[in-house]
Structures are given as C-alpha cells and as structure tokens.
Amino acid sequence: MMKKILIVAAHPDDDVLGCGGLIAKYSRTKEFRVVFIGEGSSCRFSREEQQTDKVLSTIRERNDYGKEALGILGVRNYSFHDLPCGRLDQFPILEINKIIEKEISDFEPDTVFTHSEKDTNNDHVVVSRSTMMATRPGAFSCVERVYAYEILSSSEWKFTEAFEPNYFEELTREQVELKWKSLAAYRSEIKSFPYPRSEEGILTLAKYRGMQGNIFYAEAYKLIRQIQK
C-alpha cells in the first residue's frame, strides 16, 4: 500500500499533469513530496537573455504558480532545484541522480512517480532515466514501487512510441475538476481546446483512461517495478 509518495518532475506543472488526480484523491490520507528538477521557463528565451532579471522573474513566477497549484491539492512538501529548462542533457547524469537520491534519502518514500522515457520532451527523458538509476533495487530499500506518468502535449505526441499504461487510478468527477483547478494556476501554460492543456483536454483524457478500465474517470500510469513485501 502506498503511504509516502515522491513525485519527481522535470518542470513545475508536470506534477499536476501527470499525478494531479492521484494527489487530489489521496492528499488527506497519504504523504506527498514533489521534486522539481528543472525550472521550466528559461528555454523560451534566447541565449543572450539567460540570467537576466526578466528570465529570473519568469522562473520565480512559475515557481509561485507551482506552490499555488500544489496548495490547491493540499500539498505543502516540495522542492525546486531550478536546473536550466531544456538543457538537462547538458548536465552529467550523475548530478541529477544525486539530487534525486538525496530526496529519496531524506523523504524515504515507498512509492516514486516520474516521467515516461517515451516522452517527446528531452528534459522528461533525462529525469526518467535519472530516476530509474536513483531507484534501482539495492540503492534504497524503502522504495517498493516505481511508476511512470503521462504528460499531455508530450506523451501523446510521441507518434512512434506510445505511452503504454498498465495501472489505472479511478477518479471521481470532482477529483478531475480539482486537478484542472490546480493546473489552471499555471496561467502561462493554459490554452483553449483542442490544445491538450485545457479544461476539456484534462477531462477528455480522464474519460478516455477511465473508459479503458470500464470506469468513468481515471489517471493512467506505467508500473515500472514493484517489490511486494
């Protein structure tokens, strides 16, 4: 049974897109910590603009959105590591491993959620790889389960390798709506349907994943490994 859940995300908003329903469902009964590896904003600016007040202000603003979004879901335990967005592959993978390993050591989760290695966003792929290394059996005996989550506007756009979920968490309509309310805190990331990161996009995916399991709404994940104790 999941009791302490660590969510490892490349950028602020990935946590809500991938696990917002799960958090909405369990935030009162399970302990969550969310770890943001990258900052999610600087990649939208030119090389010359990096480290300017404009970029740093945008990074702070997105982090504030992240705190607001998690507050809506009832989570107060999180950390921002602010590695450069879109450039995680320029860091030695060992550095990112060490960040995740320290988070695991400090929080001692029994369950870890992270990105799918099949996403189109390369930062997601780097964080997925690093999490797999940080949670390998023998590294931390506390970790019993590792899951990959999907990200709208990234996972479904990998047309050659689809995200293949094998675990479905049933949600209520209210939990899906709370997920959307949380995501809507990221005001710079929301667009109108048919863009995936929209109210209708969130609801459509929840219905589709629910339909796959003959239920009304669900969030879907890929179970990477589980150790039954």
- Looking at residue 40, what is its pLDDT? 76
Taking only the tens place, the pLDDT of each residue in 103-147 is 999 999 999 999 999 999 999 999 999 999 999 988 778 999 999
- Looking at residue 94, what is its pLDDT? 96
Annotate the chain with DSSP letters as a single string. ---EEEEEESSTTHHHHHHHHHHHHHTTTSEEEEEEEE-SSGGGS-GGGTTSHHHHHHHHHHHHHHHHHHHHHT---EEEEEEPTT-GGGS-HHHHHHHHHHHHHHH--SEEEEE-TT-SSHHHHHHHHHHHHHT-TTT-TT--EEEEE--TTTTTT-SSS-----EEEEE-HHHHHHHHHHHTT-TTT---TTSSSSHHHHHHHHHHHHHHTTSSEEEEEEEEEE---
How many whole angstroms separate alpha carbon 135 and alpha carbon 105? 11
Query: Is the pLDDT higher at 55 or at 101?
Result: 101
The architecture of the domain spanning 4-224 is 3-Layer(aba) Sandwich (3.40)
- Looking at residue 45, what is its pLDDT? 63
The full set of domain ranges for the chain reads 4-224
Taking only the tens place, the pLDDT of each residue in 51-66 is 777 778 888 999 999 9
- Looking at residue 227, what is its pLDDT? 92
* pLDDT higher than threshold 80 for residue 170: yes
* pLDDT higher than threshold 80 for residue 48: no
- Looking at residue 15, what is its pLDDT? 98
In this prediction, residues 36-55 reach a mean pLDDT of 75
Say if residues 6 and 112 touch (Cβ distance below 8 Å): yes
* pLDDT higher than threshold 70 for residue 149: yes
Q: What angle do CA 111, 144, 176 make, to 5 degrees?
A: 30
* pLDDT higher than threshold 70 for residue 46: no
Taking only the tens place, the pLDDT of each residue in 178-208 is 999 999 999 988 999 999 999 999 999 999 9
How many whole angstroms separate alpha carbon 181 and alpha carbon 70? 10
* pLDDT higher than threshold 80 for residue 41: no
Instruction: Report the predicted TM-score, pTM, of the whole model to 2 decimal places.
Output: 0.94
How many whole angstroms separate alpha carbon 82 and alpha carbon 192? 28
